[in-house]
Structure 1
């Protein structure tokens, strides 16, 4: 299946975005056991044409994409890819009332007593400061997940930060904007002792700013290991079971509850592989993405206790 389907589609996998680049910039990850090439995320030309990119990857028999929306997954399935549900994506309708909900407004007002939210322009200083915040944030000293979403402030991303009265960064949200009408949450950070409501305040401000620019939706990204339907295929059940074993170190339920606070609409997220998704590729993903290190850190803490 030619990856030209991606350039022809309005939909992109999560963490893929479009800018005015002349040539695509792709985060490729070689999976050592299965031999797959994981196209973790990419910045592609806004005109939708990236023939050199998909020609190059047409030469690879084994490719893997995560974060695919249902429409894209269906197109890939028709072209011979295997598609597997791995979670759900929460999407805020910026033209609706999600950001005006009583619980969101109450928390945002509480945080406003301690500071305010600002969009930060890209600069090397801002890149370094976001990296510092990541170390300061809750769970910042644990092994970190890799390649599942963007973690670095790049010129094609947008950064909204809650800054307290002393000028310190207390929380941040990093966004990509794959189209003028859609934005996607990449990274959410909050210092352990930040004022209550910091994250609600950031999302409220970012959402209002995006809406004023004509953006219609803000994706809260994936809530992994959750599904809209109870009936899972064996591989989907296995992935979900493995993910839920990480509850001690990765609070997927807490992440879901926070995102649900904004009353988003939910849609399934797929992992797509060509030609098929073998178990070795799942082992690769679990290892290369840092999930194995994270799970091991939780086991070691339990043993030490």
Structure 2
């Protein structure tokens, strides 16, 4: 067996916890590398059967992104290597960031313009989310794929900020990562949305998850916000993160960091794991498949 029973109840980012379903989603990078970008499973030990099923040749490689330090260390004992790629922002739901006056004021300003609802899964809600996507700041750019759940599907939860005319001004899509942890998949804000729209959404969802008994809410990963002195000069980790920082013109990771950091989260290391090794060619293929390369080229041209 490639992976023995694991004590972990949490999963890599954008993997979905479900007690009733087992599903693996992957894309191939080249001829013999599988990028497992999302799985729906009850616990991490279920990855055993997934990897064994995909190991159709002796030279099969695997890539799993969004791994915590704990998961990365466990995978290392089973032939995986890893590279530090970013930080995950996690809110402890027993600590209220909205005690801060500046956040309360943003929430107050946002709620003057509309209301927040959790949406039932329906064709209408799916269409509303897609309509909102056409009106956010990056709607005319190549859309990133496989890095998060980007559609309202069964098993996910969708919260929308709806103005007084019934128009969606913002939305946050979440999914369960464990019995006690929820993770953010998608943050969308209409270009014309009022100040405080997203803060009001975060506040509503924070209160909702806390009332339901969850312990943690992940706001997701921010790539490249790592200390560069963690890496030997010109190592793979150094070059990957240095290159990522140079692409800030295409992917504003700093803006994402500052937005998430206002909610006083814990920042935990996130790793890209691969078996047997993280190779530059796989990172390049991953960038191509995820549309990050296309986004970078378009931004450079424009």
Does TM, scored on the shorter chain, surpass 0.5? yes
Q: Deviations over 1:213-263 (max 9, x none)?
A: 001111011010011573224111111122122212211100000011001
1:5-20 aligned within 5 A: 8-20=7-19
Shift in alpha-carbon separation, 1:70–1:283, aligned structure 2, 3 A: same
1:1-40 aligned within 5 A: 2-4=2-4, 8-22=7-21, 24-32=22-30, 35-40=32-37
Residue 44 in structure 1 maps to residue 41 in structure 2:
yes
Task: Tell me the residue number matched to 1:274.
Answer: 275
1:26 and 1:99 map into 2 onto residues whose CA distance is: 37
Shift in alpha-carbon separation, 1:226–1:155, aligned structure 2, 3 A: same
Q: Deviations over 1:177-233 (max 9, x none)?
A: 122311101100001110101111111000100000001111011010011573224
Task: Tell me the residue number matched to 2:167.
Answer: 168
Residue 285 in structure 1 maps to residue 286 in structure 2:
yes
2:296 and 2:273 map into 1 onto residues whose CA distance is: 24
- Taking structure 1 as the reference length, the TM-score comes to 0.92
Is the Cα–Cα contact under 8 Å of residues 69 and 270 in structure 1 kept in the other structure?
yes
Task: Tell me the residue number matched to 1:131.
Answer: 130
Task: Tell me the residue number matched to 2:239.
Answer: 238
Q: CA deviation at 1:9?
A: 2.4
1:79 and 1:142 map into 2 onto residues whose CA distance is: 39
1:50 and 1:258 map into 2 onto residues whose CA distance is: 33
Is the Cα–Cα contact under 8 Å of residues 14 and 148 in structure 2 kept in the other structure?
yes
Q: CA deviation at 1:52?
A: 4.4
Q: CA deviation at 1:21?
A: 2.9
Task: Tell me the residue number matched to 1:150.
Answer: 149
Is the Cα–Cα contact under 8 Å of residues 104 and 200 in structure 1 kept in the other structure?
yes
2:298 and 2:81 map into 1 onto residues whose CA distance is: 32
2:43 and 2:49 map into 1 onto residues whose CA distance is: 15
Q: CA deviation at 1:48?
A: 6.3
Which region of structure 1 is more displaced relative to structure 2, 97-106 or 280-289?
97-106
Structure 2: gaps (5+ residues): none
How large is the RMSD of aligned CA atoms in angstroms?
1.9
1:74 and 1:280 map into 2 onto residues whose CA distance is: 23
Alignment coverage as a number of residue pairs: 298
1:97-136 aligned within 5 A: 97-136=96-135
1:31 and 1:213 map into 2 onto residues whose CA distance is: 40
1:108 and 1:43 map into 2 onto residues whose CA distance is: 34
Structure 1: gaps (5+ residues): none
Q: CA deviation at 1:149?
A: 0.7
1:284 and 1:4 map into 2 onto residues whose CA distance is: 29
1:223 and 1:93 map into 2 onto residues whose CA distance is: 18
Q: Deviations over 1:36-82 (max 9, x none)?
A: 10000111146965764343134462100000001000001122210
Residue 188 in structure 1 maps to residue 172 in structure 2:
no
Q: CA deviation at 1:99?
A: 3.2
2:214 and 2:189 map into 1 onto residues whose CA distance is: 25
Which region of structure 1 is more displaced relative to structure 2, 142-151 or 131-140?
131-140
